[in-house]
Amino acid sequence: MHITVAGKQVETGEALQSHVRDGLGTIARKYFDHALEANVTFRRDAKGHAFICDINLKAGRNLFMRGEGEGVDAHRAFEEASEHVAKRLRRYRRRVNDHARSVAAERDRGEPARQVVLRGPDAKETEENEAQAANGPDHPAVVAETPAAIERLSVGEAVMRMDLAHVPVLMFRNSRTEVLNVVYRRTDGHIGWIDPGQA
């Protein structure tokens, strides 16, 4: 990070400049390692009794932060100003992390789906007639309907979930390709995998 230290009618010796560079370097490493440059200016207040420090930090493209501090000497004025900058960087980083976590949580949350169980072809004759009357000849009767979620999984995780749930088939979003996939247990006992992304 490029740091410029200047004084308006205030002497900025090597000790003060070194203190500023060390302090801002620590803040940048702790909160925002990609900071590009900082301009630190020292001046006296209107009455000439206290020192005022202005820090203008370019923390990234289109991200600027400012801190101001006042103290009985230049070092204390810098400490106060740098604490203001650190507080703003902490707040900014917390917001960025919260946003990243919410995006990840949204991505990992299963997609809403609906699981439907249809009456099989071996139902009694009267039940078939009822189903046809209610749903038409090509639509069997709905026996059960429950909400489900389409999870974002690897193929191995999907097979494990299918085995744990003791279900013959599982639809999931492939975490590698982001395409809807299906794993199912074949009649020969092996696992089948349908991946439209590979077609």
Which of 69-78, 124-133, 189-198 tops mean pLDDT? 69-78
Query: Is the pLDDT confidence value at 80 over 80?
Result: yes
pTM: 0.50
Of the pLDDT bands very low, low, confident and very high (cuts 50, 70, 90), residue 139 is low
Res 42: pLDDT: 93
Name the architecture of domain 2-107: 2-Layer Sandwich (3.30)
**What residue type is 95 in one-letter code?**
R
- Determine the Cα–Cα distance for residues 110 and 122; give it in Å rounded to an integer: 34
171 and 194 Cβ atoms separated by less than 8 Å? no
Helix (H, G, I), strand (E, B) or coil at 21: helix
Query: Is the pLDDT confidence value at 84 over 70?
Result: yes
Class of domain 151-199: alpha beta
**Residue spans per domain, the chain:** 2-107, 112-147, 151-199
| Residue spans of beta strands (DSSP E) within 139-194 | 142-150, 152-153, 169-174, 180-185, 191-194
Res 98: pLDDT: 76
